[in-house]
């Protein structure tokens, strides 16, 4: 169409000139005959019939020659344009091929061999291995290979000269910020409800999505000397699995997200989102790349807190301090524990107590001294009733840990190749390395640029019961301060909550509009023999009622996982729902040793209503606990309620 219009513009002046010339000659012919014709037949001008003289024939020949010339000129012009267009297309194609060839062979010289091999592998094998069973996914032979495979998809700045922004998708229908459990659960939920969905996960970690609990639990009890590389472990039930949710072959390359026909999940590793434009529906990465979205999930988790006295202590102290959170922290601490004589863990909560037991178990095989200190009177003093906290402390001591309770750190110094921890009561602790496990600070870095509200009481992004912060923005996991329709506003920092909230956010991103009602659980194991599961609000400041019984050989985390077949217990617990609990008819036996809390149930009360439950060495009963909290009823005798958990059965 464009070519025809161009030709017509060139021929139109010629046609108008010929027509004007003919009319002028006809008029001259009339004047020469002595009169002005009142009517000039059009046929005489074009056919050369008698009456016009010989000039009419000339004019007809002139018009015919002009027409033939115009057609010839048009044909020549169109043919030339077509040849130039084809030459231009060929030139552009050759340029892109030359650039691609140049990119694949350069820059080998400035890169170390490991990166060079990674580039070659990414070019020839975009999917390095077939996905194993979805029940027990496994990474490649080493954890570093899994990292390399995922990283090559987005070409970090250190590799190659081509900007990474040219390789990244400019738009993602579903954009998930954060590469943890909540993001993966959301991606799986989105794909289940929308099989053709295109999901992009952006994470600042170099690893594909993985589960964090084994980093402080099972990995430390592995007999495999290469566990820090394989990141595979044996669960308490003896089965082996990887900490990665899925192998690299499960994901698609980010640059393929736009073109893949049936959608998929892509992971962009090593990239941090630094700015969020809520009105423009786009985010900016730390390399200035912009990615727009239709719907966005914020699941950025949190960062470990540190003590201010340590932050102010100087570089030498900070170099000998671990803030435990990621895979690299596990690898670093494992290496430290094999090369130093003393490690001190500051913190008496879940993470601190788990690491203390794990390292204490290792200390029996070496000369490693393990010290745990915290301001509370006993381990997990903010969660457990005082009597049970004290019992737990004695259990931790039996694992080879030196426990210092009611210890407030005043200052930390580095002197004579030792860290000196000065306590406010005058005690002095000398150690080689410090592990700080004093809680998590929710990552709300995008709140300012995105204009999102941060809860002043609990921290985290403030969202409604559907986990929405805006009409097309959701928040899940540790960073979400959500409204629980049963227990009010809350923020939870546990694996199972990340699973539940991520799954719910994914469903709502695809139009489900469901409120948060499913109570997530959490668990902690102090080795293979003592563990507990909890649900709801468990706060030692609340009134509690505990009902205990004598434990048997099957009342351990190891026995529980052997029965359920899963090591991450939330995988089996969260899917079950108790419709009607049946109380045990077995009478409660007399516990000979009142201080031996072998197994039992602890109820947490608020206004005489059960708002939280801990199952102490009682497993696979979480659906019953969930129903009790959901019902929200007052109970006259909680001893009768405890029978619903069959704790008195052998």
Element (H, E) at 91: helix 54-105
CB neighbour list of residue 100: distance below 8 Å, 6 or more residues apart: none
User: Is residue 220 within 8 Å of residue 361, measured between CB atoms?
Assistant: yes
Indicate the range of 161-165, 202-206, 461-465 predicted with least confidence. Answer: 161-165
Task: Please check whether residue 75 lies inside any domain of the structure.
Answer: no
Query: Span 612-618, mean pLDDT?
Result: 93
- The distance from CA 129 to its chain's CA centroid, rounded to whole angstroms, is 22
pLDDT of 179 reads 97
Q: Cα–Cα distance between 375 and 501 in angstroms, integer?
A: 32
Q: Which residue has the tokens 């297309």?
A: 89
Task: Please check whether residue 593 lies inside any domain of the structure.
Answer: yes
309 and 427 fall within a common domain = yes
With a cut of 60, say whether residue 158 has pLDDT above it.
no
378 and 324 fall within a common domain = yes
Q: Which residue has the tokens 């499913």?
A: 518
Of 506 and 149, which is predicted with more confidence?
A: 506
Q: Cα–Cα distance between 368 and 370 in angstroms, integer?
A: 6
Q: Cα–Cα distance between 169 and 157 in angstroms, integer?
A: 16
491 and 549 fall within a common domain = no
Q: What percent of the chain has pLDDT over 70?
A: 68
pTM over 0.75: no
pLDDT of 565 reads 54
369 and 459 fall within a common domain = no
pLDDT of 26 reads 45
Of 575 and 405, which is predicted with more confidence?
A: 405
pLDDT of 417 reads 95
In this prediction, residue 226 has a pLDDT band, given cuts at 50, 70 and 90, of very high
Question: Last residue of a domain, which of 438, 459, 482?
Answer: 438
Task: Please check whether residue 219 lies inside any domain of the structure.
Answer: no
Task: Please check whether residue 232 lies inside any domain of the structure.
Answer: no
pLDDT tens digits along 390-422: 989 998 999 899 999 999 999 999 999 999 999
Task: Please check whether residue 182 lies inside any domain of the structure.
Answer: yes
503 and 537 fall within a common domain = no
Question: Last residue of a domain, which of 403, 438, 473?
Answer: 438
pLDDT of 428 reads 97
Element (H, E) at 167: none
User: Is residue 246 within 8 Å of residue 183, measured between CB atoms?
Assistant: no
The count of domains in the chain is 3
Task: Please check whether residue 404 lies inside any domain of the structure.
Answer: yes
Q: Cα–Cα distance between 112 and 107 in angstroms, integer?
A: 11
Which CATH number covers residue 618?
3.30.390.30
**74 CB-side CA count, 13 A:** 17
In this prediction, residue 598 has a pLDDT band, given cuts at 50, 70 and 90, of confident
Sign of CA dihedral 315, 318, 319, 320: positive
Indicate the range of 134-148, 216-230, 237-251, 338-352 predicted with least confidence. Answer: 134-148
541 and 589 fall within a common domain = yes
With a cut of 50, say whether residue 197 has pLDDT above it.
yes
pLDDT of 16 reads 57
Per the prediction, the chain carries an average pLDDT of: 79
Question: Last residue of a domain, which of 438, 463, 483?
Answer: 438
Which CATH number covers residue 428?
3.50.50.60
Query: Span 239-255, mean pLDDT?
Result: 94
In this prediction, residue 32 has a pLDDT band, given cuts at 50, 70 and 90, of very low
Q: Cα–Cα distance between 552 and 144 in angstroms, integer?
A: 42
Q: What are phi and psi of 204, to 5 degrees?
A: -85, -5
Task: Please check whether residue 585 lies inside any domain of the structure.
Answer: yes
List, as one string, the DSSP characters of 296-362: EEE---EEE---HHHHTS-HHHHHTEEE--SHHHHHHHHHHHTT-SEEEEE--SHHHHHHHHHHHHH
**63 CB-side CA count, 13 A:** 18
Element (H, E) at 630: helix 622-631
Q: Token digits for 431?
A: 């150690």
- Nearest C-alpha neighbor of 198 from the set 147, 260, 250: 260
Indicate the range of 32-36, 113-117, 456-460 predicted with least confidence. Answer: 113-117
Q: Token digits for 459?
A: 């921290």
Indicate the range of 95-104, 115-124, 295-304 predicted with least confidence. Answer: 115-124
Q: Cα–Cα distance between 523 and 384 in angstroms, integer?
A: 13
Indicate the range of 92-96, 129-133, 379-383 predicted with least confidence. Answer: 129-133
In this prediction, residue 361 has a pLDDT band, given cuts at 50, 70 and 90, of confident
With a cut of 90, say whether residue 1 has pLDDT above it.
no
pLDDT of 221 reads 86
Q: Cα–Cα distance between 193 and 508 in angstroms, integer?
A: 10
In the chain the first and final C-alpha atoms are separated, in Å, by 88
In this prediction, residue 5 has a pLDDT band, given cuts at 50, 70 and 90, of low
User: What CA–CA distances, in Å, run from 291 to 255, 277, 282, 306?
Assistant: 12, 10, 5, 33
Give the single-character DSSP code of 288.
S
- Nearest C-alpha neighbor of 495 from the set 323, 329, 351: 351
With a cut of 50, say whether residue 130 has pLDDT above it.
no
Q: Give the count of beta carbons closer than 10 Å to the beta carbon of residue 481.
A: 23
User: Is residue 175 within 8 Å of residue 296, measured between CB atoms?
Assistant: yes
Query: Span 346-357, mean pLDDT?
Result: 94
256 and 331 fall within a common domain = no
User: What CA–CA distances, in Å, run from 176 to 362, 468, 497, 535, 595?
Assistant: 38, 14, 17, 27, 48
- Coil vs helix vs strand at 490: strand
**Domain residue limits at 616:** 519-642
Query: How large is the C-alpha radius of gyration of the chain?
Result: 37
503 and 533 fall within a common domain = no
User: What CA–CA distances, in Å, run from 600 to 519, 582, 614, 615, 639?
Assistant: 20, 17, 8, 6, 11
Task: Please check whether residue 448 lies inside any domain of the structure.
Answer: yes
Q: Cα–Cα distance between 216 and 353 in angstroms, integer?
A: 9
pLDDT of 90 reads 62
With a cut of 90, say whether residue 11 has pLDDT above it.
no
Q: Cα–Cα distance between 626 and 280 in angstroms, integer?
A: 41
Of 241 and 115, which is predicted with more confidence?
A: 241
479 and 458 fall within a common domain = yes
3-state SS, one letter per residue, for 191-249: HHHCCCCEEEEECCCCCCCECCHHHCCHHHHCCCCCHHHHCEEECCCCCEEECECCCHH
pLDDT of 129 reads 36
User: Is residue 369 within 8 Å of residue 363, measured between CB atoms?
Assistant: yes
549 and 632 fall within a common domain = yes
351 and 384 fall within a common domain = yes
pLDDT tens digits along 437-493: 999 999 999 999 999 999 999 999 999 999 999 999 999 999 999 998 888 999 999
pLDDT tens digits along 254-296: 999 999 999 999 999 999 999 999 999 999 999 999 999 999 9
Query: Span 40-65, mean pLDDT?
Result: 56
pLDDT tens digits along 517-539: 888 898 887 766 778 899 999 99
pLDDT of 561 reads 61
With a cut of 50, say whether residue 87 has pLDDT above it.
yes
- State the alpha helices, DSSP H only, in 381-450: 386-398, 447-450
Q: Cα–Cα distance between 445 and 452 in angstroms, integer?
A: 10
Q: Token digits for 582?
A: 């049946």
With a cut of 80, say whether residue 331 has pLDDT above it.
yes
- Coil vs helix vs strand at 184: helix
351 and 280 fall within a common domain = no
pLDDT of 597 reads 81
pLDDT of 390 reads 92
């Amino acid at each position: 169409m464009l070519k025809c219009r161009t030709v017509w513009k060139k021929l139109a002046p010629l046609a108008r000139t010929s027509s004007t010339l003919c009319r002028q000659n006809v008029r001259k012919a009339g004047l020469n005959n002595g009169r002005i014709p009142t009517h000039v037949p059009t046929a005489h001008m074009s056919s050369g019939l008698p009456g016009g003289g010989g000039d009419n024939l000339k004019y007809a020949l002139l018009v015919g020659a002009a027409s033939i010339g115009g057609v010839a000129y048009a044909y020549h012009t169109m043919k030339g344009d077509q040849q130039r267009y084809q030459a231009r297309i060929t030139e552009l194609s050759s340029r892109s091929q030359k650039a691609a060839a140049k990119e694949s062979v350069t820059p080998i010289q400035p890169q170390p061999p490991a990166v060079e091999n990674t580039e070659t592998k990414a070019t020839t094998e975009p999917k390095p291995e077939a996905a194993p069973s979805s029940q027990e996914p496994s990474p490649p032979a080493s954890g570093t290979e899994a990292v390399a495979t995922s990283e090559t998809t987005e070409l970090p700045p250190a590799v190659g000269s081509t900007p990474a922004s040219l390789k990244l998708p400019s738009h993602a229908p579903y954009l998930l910020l954060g590469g943890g459990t909540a993001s993966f659960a959301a991606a799986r939920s989105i794909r289940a409800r929308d099989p053709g969905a295109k999901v992009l996960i952006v994470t600042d970690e170099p690893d594909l999505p993985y589960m964090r609990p084994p980093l402080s639990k099972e990995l430390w009890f592995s007999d495999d000397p290469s566990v820090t590389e394989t990141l595979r472990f044996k669960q308490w039930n003896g089965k082996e699995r990887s900490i990665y949710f899925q192998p690299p072959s499960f994901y698609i390359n980010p640059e393929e997200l736009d073109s893949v026909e049936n959608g998929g999940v892509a992971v962009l590793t090593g990239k941090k989102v630094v700015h969020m434009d809520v009105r423009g529906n786009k985010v900016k990465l730390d390399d200035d790349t912009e990615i727009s979205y239709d719907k966005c999930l914020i699941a950025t988790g949190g960062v470990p807190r540190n003590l201010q006295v340590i932050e102010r202590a100087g570089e030498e102290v900070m170099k000998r301090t671990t803030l435990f959170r990621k895979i690299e922290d596990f690898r670093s601490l494992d290496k430290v524990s094999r090369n130093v004589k003393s490690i001190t863990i500051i913190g008496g909560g879940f993470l601190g107590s788990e690491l203390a037991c794990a390292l204490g178990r290792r200390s029996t095989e070496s000369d490693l001294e393990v010290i745990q200190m915290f301001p509370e009177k006993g381990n997990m003093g903010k969660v457990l009733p005082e009597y049970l906290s004290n019992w737990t402390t004695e259990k931790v001591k039996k694992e080879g840990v030196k426990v210092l309770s009611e210890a407030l750190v005043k200052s930390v110094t580095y002197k004579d190749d030792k860290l000196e921890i000065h306590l406010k009561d005058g005690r002095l602790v000398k150690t080689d390395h410090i592990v700080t496990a004093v809680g998590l600070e929710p990552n709300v870095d995008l709140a300012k640029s995105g204009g999102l509200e941060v809860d002043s009481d609990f921290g985290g992004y403030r969202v409604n019961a559907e986990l929405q912060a805006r009409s097309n923005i959701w928040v899940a996991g540790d960073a979400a301060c959500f409204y629980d329709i049963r227990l009010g506003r809350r923020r939870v920092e546990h694996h199972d909550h990340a699973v539940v909230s991520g799954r719910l956010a994914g469903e709502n991103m695809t139009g489900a509009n469901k409120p948060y009602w499913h109570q997530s659980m959490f668990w902690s194991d102090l080795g293979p023999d003592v563990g507990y599961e909890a649900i709801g609000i468990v706060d030692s400041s609340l009134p509690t009622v505990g009902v205990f019984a004598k434990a048997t050989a099957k009342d351990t985390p190891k026995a529980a996982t052997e029965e359920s077949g899963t090591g991450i217990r939330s995988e089996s617990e969260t899917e079950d729902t108790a419709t009607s609990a049946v109380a045990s008819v077995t009478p409660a036996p007399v516990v000979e040793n009142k201080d031996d809390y072998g197994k039992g149930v602890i109820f947490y009360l608020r206004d005489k209503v059960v708002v939280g439950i801990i199952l102490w060495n009682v497993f696979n009963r979480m659906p019953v606990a969930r129903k009790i909290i959901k019902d929200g009823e007052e109970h006259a005798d909680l001893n009768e309620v405890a029978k619903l958990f069959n704790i008195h059965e052998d």
